[in-house]
A and B are shown apart, each in its own frame.
Chain A
């Protein structure tokens, strides 16, 4: 085996096709898109070079700033909720439900396997205000509340998106963090107990530090996923009302494909990439610092 992998031609044969596919479907479009950031136009009208006009436009475009603001607000709130709720669930699996957690884990995990569009339709019906009144509004009605147009008010639709995404993804983070918690040796927890640590103190001093690596990877997973949110928003609110729930991804998509401005759309895409990169570097750095501290 060692001989085979030491042979350059064998490496070429084994890697070649994968590398070719990767370059064709990933690298070429990326370079292509970078090239578009200094162009104006679309495939129908043709392209003209316009220097850094797209970048200047981006920084002066209030809609772009709204989209950045929404993206950050959504990513930070949802990441915090996903990881916290996931962590609480995993603590519940390990310390409270113990061996019997299987069925609960399955139920909480179930929404993860459902298609986004199906979940979005479900939530649209749940929070529907017209033409038929959905269960949530019916329930509010029983409590004496008004028929609230959830998808017509910016704040309400934001929280519906958050609620839907949390419901859809908390099971995944719970299982991810559960795997980290299970890895903590029983004897360590046992000895901490003998030393008199229990409840909150046990979690703070033993469980939390030991599950920090997996916790940090969950945060990286989550922040990168949420910064690039697209499908849930499109399926649930389509960026509305107005552009109140339009993340950068959707703004990019609309600019390129609905408004026919590929150049500016690519610029927005580049900005989103930079944003994701900044966040990942920031979190990676804090990870390294924490690990050396340990």
Chain B
């Protein structure tokens, strides 16, 4: 008996030590889930996680924190963190699976992934939340329907912090100097590129490293030749990307690549480098969304002059079913709220964001958002004005190439965009890769 007690006494420190060790470890593992910017409900702060490349949202939030959102910011100050856009979906999945999402963050770039978040109950249903706060009328209907269309089930899960149209921005001076008209058809565009290249001007600035600026061209070409529902058919399984009429689109883009119209080593050019190429007058055309207006309007970055930037719709393809009037539109990467973190503090922020975002983004950054604008600035730069008119006048819109693809197909498509742009991958090879990833489901 005495030996047993003694043994137990001697064992006690060992057990205690192991217990402390286990506690320390579990504390570590619990902490790692919420590391970075993650935070919970009622923690006295309002955390935002964004992509490093997007400075508009955080700038706007900071401005709002000093004005419309002052009360909310006093109760729960804004804290922010950012991650590179190239890693975005990956990081977001990890954070979501560890319950480490911030109060508010940019949504997943792949709509299919957002649907997973929605099914998993990670994302706040904003339709109800905005209704409860009495601010559901603060969204522009067109933008609201675009966000809803992206994620299926008819409710609103993200706020349109941008409302963009995409197309070819061009350097007016470079085109005029080389006698190039603004292209209306794809053949015009190819001819223009050829003329410019012969004159020693790089026709296109393209971020091949990011991939999507290249694959957008493939998607747009498909919409122009096969009509606005062409990619829906692929998503529904009624058509395949490997069908010859779809391959033709990738081939058309690959031909631009083979001809060298995207410039040297396009696979090494990232988003910022491509923006820089265009804004320093080294390239004539730049396919990009209207979110880039913030850069165009920044005199430090824009060396070619704000009024020197023109906008052309993605050209028609002769004999195609689609029309040049179907403008590729999107809500950029909208922002979502984490369901788990939604509390009164977040609600106060949501309310004042809905009320003030439209005015602040347009006045301060020149970004057209999907929020209602009450006090439009009187002295908008001409390019921004042109975009606003374009949005108002566009009869209909189309999504982008990967909008309805699986996360894997989206990743494969964007990873191989550079191959198309430098001519090392044929249209058929590219489409085969993407279709195979889509088939996995």
- Is the CB of B239 closer than 8 A to any CB of chain A? no
How many A-B residue contacts, CB cutoff 8 Å?
121
Check if B418 sits within 8 Å of A42, measured CB to CB. no
- Is the CB of B422 closer than 8 A to any CB of chain A? yes
Q: A13 — which chain B residues lie within 8 A by C-beta?
A: 13-14, 17
- Is the CB of B394 closer than 8 A to any CB of chain A? no
The winner among A129, A131, A149, A239 for most chain B CB atoms within 10 A is: A131
A154 and B422 alpha carbons, distance in the complex (Å): 12
Check if B268 sits within 8 Å of A130, measured CB to CB. yes
- Is the CB of A88 closer than 8 A to any CB of chain B? no
Give B410-441 as 1s and 0s: 1 = Cβ < 8 Å from A's Cβ atoms. Answer: 01100110110010110000000100100010
Of B17, B113, B267, B277, which is within 8 A of A260 by CB? B113
Check if A42 sits within 8 Å of B93, measured CB to CB. yes
A240 and B273 alpha carbons, distance in the complex (Å): 18
Of A12, A43, A149, which is within 8 A of B267 by CB? A149
A42 and B95 alpha carbons, distance in the complex (Å): 13
Closest partner residue, chain A, to B416 (CB atom): A242
- Is the CB of A165 closer than 8 A to any CB of chain B? no
Q: A259 — which chain B residues lie within 8 A by C-beta?
A: 406-408, 411
Report the minimal beta-carbon distance from A284 to chain B, rounded to whole angstroms: 33
Check if A149 sits within 8 Å of B120, measured CB to CB. no
The winner among A12, A43, A129, A242 for most chain B CB atoms within 10 A is: A242
A259 and B120 alpha carbons, distance in the complex (Å): 16
A271 and B9 alpha carbons, distance in the complex (Å): 48
Q: Which 9 A-B pairs have the closest CB atoms?
A: A129-B265, A43-B97, A130-B265, A149-B265, A152-B267, A259-B408, A44-B120, A13-B14, A258-B90
Report the minimal beta-carbon distance from A253 to chain B, rounded to whole angstroms: 9
- Is the CB of A16 closer than 8 A to any CB of chain B? yes
* Contact A258/B14 with A21-B21, A239-B415 known, Cβ cut-off 8 Å: no
Query: Interface size (A, Cβ < 8 Å)?
Result: 38
Check if B93 sits within 8 Å of A243, measured CB to CB. no
A42 and B97 alpha carbons, distance in the complex (Å): 8
* Contact A45/B269 with A131-B277, A258-B90 known, Cβ cut-off 8 Å: no
- Is the CB of A241 closer than 8 A to any CB of chain B? yes
Report the minimal beta-carbon distance from A123 to chain B, rounded to whole angstroms: 13
A-B contact sample (12 more), CB < 8 A, given A21-B21, A240-B418: A42-B93, A43-B97, A45-B120, A62-B436, A128-B265, A128-B268, A149-B268, A149-B422, A154-B424, A257-B93, A258-B90, A260-B113
Report the minimal beta-carbon distance from A43 to chain B, rounded to whole angstroms: 4
A25 and B32 alpha carbons, distance in the complex (Å): 13
Check if B267 sits within 8 Å of A151, measured CB to CB. yes
- Is the CB of B199 closer than 8 A to any CB of chain A? no
Give A4-23 as 1s and 0s: 1 = Cβ < 8 Å from B's Cβ atoms. Answer: 00000100110011001100
Give A154-192 as 1s and 0s: 1 = Cβ < 8 Å from B's Cβ atoms. Answer: 100000000000000000000000000000000000000
A3 and B425 alpha carbons, distance in the complex (Å): 71
Check if A21 sits within 8 Å of B25, measured CB to CB. yes
Check if A9 sits within 8 Å of B14, measured CB to CB. yes
Check if B268 sits within 8 Å of A9, measured CB to CB. no
Q: B348 — which chain A residues lie within 8 A by C-beta?
A: none
* Contact A241/B265 with A44-B122, A45-B119 known, Cβ cut-off 8 Å: no
Q: A240 — which chain B residues lie within 8 A by C-beta?
A: 267, 415, 418
Query: Interface size (B, Cβ < 8 Å)?
Result: 49
Check if A20 sits within 8 Å of B268, measured CB to CB. no
A20 and B14 alpha carbons, distance in the complex (Å): 12
- Is the CB of B263 closer than 8 A to any CB of chain A? yes
Closest partner residue, chain B, to A62 (CB atom): B436
A261 and B7 alpha carbons, distance in the complex (Å): 50
A253 and B422 alpha carbons, distance in the complex (Å): 27
Check if A243 sits within 8 Å of B268, measured CB to CB. no
Check if B119 sits within 8 Å of A151, measured CB to CB. no
Of A25, A57, A152, A258, which is within 8 A of B268 by CB? A152
* Contact A20/B18 with A152-B424, A259-B411 known, Cβ cut-off 8 Å: yes
- Is the CB of A254 closer than 8 A to any CB of chain B? yes
A9 and B4 alpha carbons, distance in the complex (Å): 13
* Contact A258/B276 with A20-B22, A44-B116, A130-B264 known, Cβ cut-off 8 Å: no
Check if A130 sits within 8 Å of B269, measured CB to CB. yes
- Is the CB of B96 closer than 8 A to any CB of chain A? yes
Q: A287 — which chain B residues lie within 8 A by C-beta?
A: none
Report the minimal beta-carbon distance from A205 to chain B, rounded to whole angstroms: 50
Closest partner residue, chain B, to A129 (CB atom): B265
A260 and B419 alpha carbons, distance in the complex (Å): 24
Of A42, A43, A131, A152, which is within 8 A of B422 by CB? A152
Check if B21 sits within 8 Å of A9, measured CB to CB. no
Report the minimal beta-carbon distance from B10 to chain A, rounded to whole angstroms: 6
Closest partner residue, chain B, to A16 (CB atom): B18
Q: B407 — which chain A residues lie within 8 A by C-beta?
A: 258-260
Closest partner residue, chain A, to B88 (CB atom): A258
Check if A242 sits within 8 Å of B119, measured CB to CB. no
Closest partner residue, chain B, to A239 (CB atom): B415
Closest partner residue, chain A, to B267 (CB atom): A152
A151 and B208 alpha carbons, distance in the complex (Å): 11
- Residues of B373-423 whose CB lies within 8 A of A: 406-408, 411-412, 415-416, 418-419, 422
Q: A274 — which chain B residues lie within 8 A by C-beta?
A: none
28 A/B residue pairs, CB under 8 Å, sorted by A? A12-B11, A12-B14, A13-B13, A13-B14, A13-B17, A16-B14, A16-B17, A17-B17, A20-B21, A24-B22, A24-B25, A42-B116, A43-B98, A62-B436, A129-B265, A130-B265, A130-B268, A131-B269, A131-B277, A149-B264, A241-B267, A242-B416, A242-B419, A242-B424, A243-B415, A243-B416, A254-B90, A258-B90
A15 and B419 alpha carbons, distance in the complex (Å): 54
Q: B119 — which chain A residues lie within 8 A by C-beta?
A: 44-45
* Contact A131/B276 with A9-B10, A13-B13, A257-B90 known, Cβ cut-off 8 Å: yes
Closest partner residue, chain A, to B10 (CB atom): A9
A243 and B408 alpha carbons, distance in the complex (Å): 13
Of A239, A255, A257, A261, which is within 8 A of B94 by CB? A257
* Contact A260/B418 with A20-B22, A21-B21, A240-B267 known, Cβ cut-off 8 Å: no
- Is the CB of A224 closer than 8 A to any CB of chain B? no
Check if A17 sits within 8 Å of B267, measured CB to CB. no
- Residues of B176-214 whose CB lies within 8 A of A: 208
Closest partner residue, chain B, to A149 (CB atom): B265
- Is the CB of B261 closer than 8 A to any CB of chain A? no
- Is the CB of A153 closer than 8 A to any CB of chain B? yes
Report the minimal beta-carbon distance from B83 to chain A, rounded to whole angstroms: 13
Report the minimal beta-carbon distance from B134 to chain A, rounded to whole angstroms: 32
